[in-house]
A and B are shown apart, each in its own frame.
Chain A
Amino acid sequence: GESVGLHLPTLSVQEGDNSIINCAYSNSASDYFIWYKQESGKGPQFIIDIRSNMDKRQGQRVTVLLNKTVKHLSLQIAATQPGDSAVYFCAERPGGYNKLIFGAGTRLAVHP
Chain B
Amino acid sequence: EADIYQTPRYLVIGTGKKITLECSQTMGHDKMYWYQQDPGMELHLIHYSYGVNSTEKGDLSSESTVSRIRTEHFPLTLESARPSHTSQYLCASSELEGAKNIQYFGAGTRLSVL
Contacts and interface: CB of A to CB of B under 8 A. Distances in A.
Interface in B89-111: 90, 92, 94, 96, 99-108
B42 A43 contact: no
Contact of B105 (A3, A8, A45, A87): A45
A99 B48 contact: yes
Contacts of B44: 102
B100 A49 contact: yes
Interface in B70-99: 90, 92, 94, 96, 99
Contact of A104 (B42, B58, B92, B101): B42
Contacts of B31: 98
Contact of A99 (B45, B100, B102): B45
Contacts, number: 71
B99 to A, nearest CB: 5
A105 B103 CA distance: 17
Contacts of A98: 31, 48, 50, 94, 96, 101
A7 B41 CA distance: 7
Contacts of B106: 43
Contacts of B104: 46
Contacts of B102: 34, 46, 49
Given A49-B102, A98-B31, A100-B103, A5 B108 contact: no
Contacts of B35: 102
Q: Which of A3, A43, A46, A99 neighbours the largest number of chain B CB atoms within 10 Å of its CB?
A: A43
Contact of A42 (B92, B99, B100, B108): B108
A15 interface: no
A102 B42 contact: yes
Interface in A75-105: 87, 89, 93, 98-105
Nearest to B56: A99
A12 to B, nearest CB: 16
